[in-house]
Amino acid sequence: MRLERYLTVDDFKREAEKRVPRMFFQYADSGAYTEGTYRANSDDFARVRLQQRIGVDITKRSLETTILGRRITMPLGLGATGAAGMQSADGEIKAARAAEKFGTIFTLSTVSICSIEDIAAATKAPFWFQLYVRKDREFTGRLIDRAKAAGCGALVVTMDCQHYGQRHKDVRNGLTVPLKLTPRFLAELAVKPRWALAMLGTRRRTFGNFAGHVPAAPSAAALAEWMSQQDDLTLNWKDLLWIKQRFGGPLVVKGVLHPDDARAAVAHGADAIIVSNHGGRQLDGAPSTIRVLPRIVDAVGSRCEIYLDSGVRSGHDMIRAVALGARAVFVGRPFLYALGAAGEAGVSRLFEIMRAEADSALGLMSVNDITTLGADHIESNDLVPPRGL
């Protein structure tokens, strides 16, 4: 499929489903339990109406903004996603390169296939590192040190994954760590030869931030057993002080859905927060992120930068979130679909599509600078309280 034929995120999704083995495609494209929150994330975005205006000179439009002092091409970055390197061989490297070329942020997950050091060697622009705090605090400290040594621009601490919502698709697909080469999986590889050959051509096929960094786990099986015991149920706000002091750079707290938690994050040292429900992969029944965003902006918008993920599927969604108070949005599934469909070139094409959508929307709203968007650019509806015109 030629790149110019990709026009929407759904185009990438359909192509990725054809190219990526079912268990890995559905690992990305799944939510917890009934997937109600997963669906609500995008459904609620569609209910937010933009205010069309006319009669303004719109020849000098700009999508540029800054996050944590860094200027980016538009208020959209790539969020942390586990095992992106299973959507496409060396997937995290490909995505990071695309983000660097476009001029925006790439966030590497703790449970990535490519390691912190892999990304640092492949790119020059500072990337962000997303941290899962492990029960083994010594290992967690070494992860933070490695992120610092790599020059990461921010540390993103995810606080909504101390334990996990079940994703039924993963169970039905037999997705395990380490992966079992069952007859069913091998049969699928036979009809996905391009993916299989690419994977054979890379050494990166396990969790790069763990393999070789856990002395107590010398084998793949031992590492899997160690990882399965590392969910730290004790993680709380007081831990942020130690994390921030050890990293020594900007701290971002991810997983915020409630104003009180936003206030607590700021009180404990967060320089920014990400309004997130983990893409609907954790608490099934939790509200969509766009629904709670205005309340969180009211609570801490003057005290820290606020970002949003979960449900963003277009440049129009980015515009909606910025108008409701987000400094920027981060996407996960969209760039995974793009990776699975067309690798690095697919992610670059995704950026082009979302930039064109956002630029078109900005012009039709008679706005020249995306940083001037506000609630008065949103029509009243059941998600947004009525405001004076």
Structure letter (DSSP) for residue 50: B
Sign of CA dihedral 279, 280, 282, 288: positive
Residue 376 lies in a domain: no
pLDDT at 386 (0 to 100): 55
| Residue 155, beta-bridge partner list | 129, 251
| Residue 70, beta-bridge partner list | 67
Active site residues: 278
CA distances from 309 to 42, 77, 224 (A): 11, 10, 29
- Gap between the Cα atoms of 374 and 389, Å rounded: 13
CA distances from 134 to 106, 141, 227 (A): 22, 9, 9
SS (H, E, C) 129-161: EEECCECCHHHHHHHHHHHHHCCCCCEEEECCC
Neighbours of 135 (CB within 10 A): 14
Residue 58 lies in a domain: yes
Q: How many residues does the chain have?
A: 389
Sign of CA dihedral 134, 138, 143, 148: positive
Residue 387 lies in a domain: no
Residue 320 lies in a domain: yes
Residue with tokens 């492949």: 122
How far, in whole angstroms, is CA 328 from its chain's centroid? Answer: 12
Residue 378 lies in a domain: no
Residue with tokens 């995120």: 9
Q: What domain range is 117 assigned to?
A: 3-371
Q: What is the total count of domains within the chain?
A: 1
How far, in whole angstroms, is CA 88 from its chain's centroid? Answer: 17
Residue 290 lies in a domain: yes
pLDDT at 388 (0 to 100): 43
Cβ partners under 8 Å of residue 85, min gap 6: 91, 92, 112, 113, 114, 204, 205, 208
Question: Is the pTM higher than 0.85?
Answer: yes
Packing angle, helices 259-267 and 289-300, rounded to 10: 50
Sign of CA dihedral 236, 238, 239, 244: positive
Cα–Cα nearest to 113, from 135, 100, 95? 95
- Gap between the Cα atoms of 288 and 30, Å rounded: 15
Burial class (CB in 10 A: 0-12, 13-18, 19+), 314: buried
Cβ(333)–Cβ(309) below 8 Å: no
Residue 311 lies in a domain: yes
Q: Are strands 251-256 and 328-331 parallel, antiparallel or unpaired?
A: unpaired
Is-cis flag, bond preceding 178, omega within 30?
yes
CATH code: domain of residue 115:
3.20.20.70
pLDDT at 1 (0 to 100): 65
Task: Please give the angle made by the CA atoms of 370, 375 and 381, to the nearest 5 degrees.
Answer: 125
Residue 377 lies in a domain: no
- pLDDT tens for the 389 residues of the chain, in order: 689 999 999 999 999 999 999 999 999 999 999 999 999 999 999 999 999 999 999 999 999 999 999 999 999 999 999 999 999 999 999 999 999 999 999 999 999 999 999 999 999 999 999 999 999 999 999 999 999 999 999 999 999 998 899 999 999 999 888 788 888 888 888 899 999 999 999 999 999 999 989 988 888 788 888 988 999 999 999 999 999 999 999 999 999 999 999 999 999 999 999 999 999 999 999 999 999 999 999 999 999 999 999 999 999 999 999 999 999 999 999 999 999 999 999 999 999 999 999 999 999 999 999 999 999 999 866 776 654 43
